[in-house]
């Protein structure tokens, strides 16, 4: 259930966006489970699970509406999923760490995801 006192229709902080970065997920969690968990906050455009050794336990969740993403961060941060307390953050380009994949590959994937999201609007 979305948190009480939604910010819908109000000015949101500048870091708020529709793309959420979720970490500390159980390695065996499925995208279907995440759709079910995060879907209670609003329609989800896309979920991408980390599938490499360095990205396992992470996911990107893209909401249709920025206010739904805001409510999901407030409601899901610290939520227990499969015995693990997840961390839910707003995606920030500058916080993408070097390591695992080449940074250029990560940037290209992010741009592709943004184009998919914008193209579906």
Q: Map out the domains of the chain as residue ranges.
A: 19-119
pLDDT digit string (tens) for 59-69? 999 999 999 99
DSSP 101: B
What fold is seen in the domain 19-119? Alpha-Beta Plaits (3.30.70)
pLDDT band with cut points at 50, 70 and 90 for residue 107: confident
Percent of the chain beyond pLDDT 90?
A: 62
Residue 2: the pLDDT is: 47
Structure tokens given for 22: 């979720």
Q: Give me the mean pLDDT over the 77-102 stretch.
A: 80
Residue 37: the pLDDT is: 96
Which single residue is written with the structure tokens 């998919």?
116
Non-local (6+) Cβ contacts of 95 within 8 A are 89
63-74 in b/e burial notation, b at 16+ Cβ within 10 A? beebbbbbbbbb
């Amino acid at each position: 259930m979305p948190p009480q006192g939604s910010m819908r229709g109000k000015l949101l902080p500048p870091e708020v966006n529709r793309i959420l970065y979720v970490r500390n997920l159980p390695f065996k969690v499925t995208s279907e489970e995440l759709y079910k968990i995060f879907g209670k906050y609003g329609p989800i455009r896309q979920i991408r699970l980390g599938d490499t050794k360095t990205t396992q336990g992470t996911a990107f969740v893209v909401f249709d509406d920025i206010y739904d993403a805001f409510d999901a961060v407030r409601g899901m941060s610290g939520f227990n999923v499969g015995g693990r307390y997840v961390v839910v953050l707003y995606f920030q380009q500058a916080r993408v760490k070097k390591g695992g994949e080449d940074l250029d590959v990560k940037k290209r994937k992010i741009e592709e995801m943004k184009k998919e999201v914008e193209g579906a609007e």
